[in-house]
Amino acid sequence: MKDFTLSDIPDLTDKNILITGATKGLGYFTAKALAKKNANILLHSRNVESGEISKKQILKDYPESKIEIIPFNLASKKSIKEGADYIKSKYSNIHIIINNAGVMHPPYHETEDGYEIHFGVNYLSHFILNNLLLDIIKDVKGSKIVTVGSIAADIGEEQFNLDKIYKKESYHKGSYGISKFCNLLFSYELERHLRKINAQTISLASHPGVSITNIIRHSSKIRLLLIKILDKIFLPSPEKASLTTIKAATDKDAKANFYYAPSGFLQIKGSPKIVPSPPLARREDLAKSLWDLSKTL
Ligand SMILES: NC(=O)c1ccc[n+]([C@@H]2O[C@H](COP(=O)([O-])OP(=O)(O)OC[C@H]3O[C@@H](n4cnc5c(N)ncnc54)[C@H](OP(=O)(O)O)[C@@H]3O)[C@@H](O)[C@H]2O)c1
């Protein structure tokens, strides 16, 4: 089959597309590619300044782009709520939400509400945001919520401990993978929820493989060296790596629960294809318990 490229993205005129963490890395290239196809980009950024820099960069290449910066901090429930309220005051509908923002292995810190940062930013923020925005997406025909997973989401059941998952004691080398696992559990539980409320929206997921972006900045020196060596010989650019999410968001044949990943060796790079997700991520009991816990946080 022919490789998916940016030219395969359909025209997106009049489509309102929210991308979290769109100032850098994969989110930035996703925003840029969709802006080129005439979408109205709701470019989420941590603050106005970083949003402005990214917007300017995109406008330099595509001056016709329609981009609004939507600044809020995913590490604060209050800020997420303000962001969602603003979006709802300005937009009566959203066609696509891309849950992209993420952090990996930063020094231990917590969200403003006291949750371990991987769990709080990578997963819980998107749970809160998506639920707050459901009203303006659920009745939009063909709408989609795409959640970005990771190869690291393939964890063991013993690592998934709901009593600890949001607390300091769950901060360790595996907490990034656990948060990405939560992203996948959430994507499938969201899909079940959408069916229950007769929504027009589908929930699906993607992972980009491996690509050097700002996300590696907290990695150990040894890991950085290894990644940089791999990068020289093998790894795709962030622009290429963003194609899996772009395809998930824009593929007319996409169905609920599809998981798009690179087709190459170990799913590290390659043209997007649909892959099975880690089997544990399809466990309804785990997904429901995570959803129920998240409602209380
Ligand atoms: N790169 C990879 O190889 C890889 C592999 C598998 C999965 N992924 C996933 O792909 C997604 C994007 O990662 P990336 O590689 O593009 O990383 P990145 O370059 O570090 O971009 C992450 C984005 O998230 C934003 N963000 C982080 N914390 C935030 C907060 N509290 N509030 C608002 N925005 C926040 C960042 O904003 P600031 O710049 O302001 O922090 C940035 O825009 C993540 O979900 C990641 O888990 C990446």
Residue 270 backbone class (left: φ over 0; alpha: ψ -120 to 50; beta: rest): left
Q: In angstroms, rounded to a whole number, what is the distance separating the alpha carbons of residues 39 and 35?
A: 5
Per-residue pLDDT at 254: 97
Predicted structure pTM score: 0.97
Per-residue pLDDT at 216: 87
Is residue 66 packed enough to be buried (19+ CB in 10 Å), middle (13-18) or exposed (0-12)?
middle
Q: Kindly state the percentage of the chain with pLDDT values over 70.
A: 100
- Residue 171 pLDDT class (50, 70, 90 cuts): confident
CA–centroid distance, 135 to ligand 1, in Å, is 26
Q: Pick the catalytic residue from 180, 240, 247, 269.
A: 180
Per-residue pLDDT at 167: 87
CA atoms within 13 A on the CB side of 114: 2
pLDDT tens digits along 137-147: 999 999 999 99
Ligand 1 binding pocket includes 25 (Cβ within 6 Å): yes
- Asked if 120 contacts 234 with a C-beta cutoff of 8 angstroms, the reply is no
Nearest CA to ligand 1 atom 40: 46
- Asked if 31 contacts 5 with a C-beta cutoff of 8 angstroms, the reply is no
φ, ψ dihedrals at 22, nearest 5°: -100, 15
- Residue 204 pLDDT class (50, 70, 90 cuts): very high
- Distance of alpha carbon 142 from the chain centroid: 19
* Tokens read off for 265: 């060796």
- Residue 279 pLDDT class (50, 70, 90 cuts): very high
Per the annotation, the verdict on 91 as an active-site residue is: no
Which architecture, in CATH terms, is 10-296? 3-Layer(aba) Sandwich (3.40)
pLDDT tens digits along 7-42: 999 999 999 999 999 999 999 999 999 999 999 999
User: Measured between alpha carbons, how far is residue 200 from residues 32, 96, 205, 255 in Å?
Assistant: 26, 12, 17, 12
Element (H, E) at 185: helix 175-196
Q: Kindly state the percentage of the chain with pLDDT values over 90.
A: 87
Check whether 274 has a pLDDT greater than 90.
yes
Higher per-residue pLDDT: 296 or 221: 296
Pocket test for ligand 1, best of 44, 176, 214, 218 (most atoms within 8 A of CB): 214
Q: In angstroms, rounded to a whole number, what is the distance separating the alpha carbons of residues 156 and 261?
A: 20
User: Measured between alpha carbons, how far is residue 146 from residues 41, 207, 254 in Å?
Assistant: 15, 10, 11
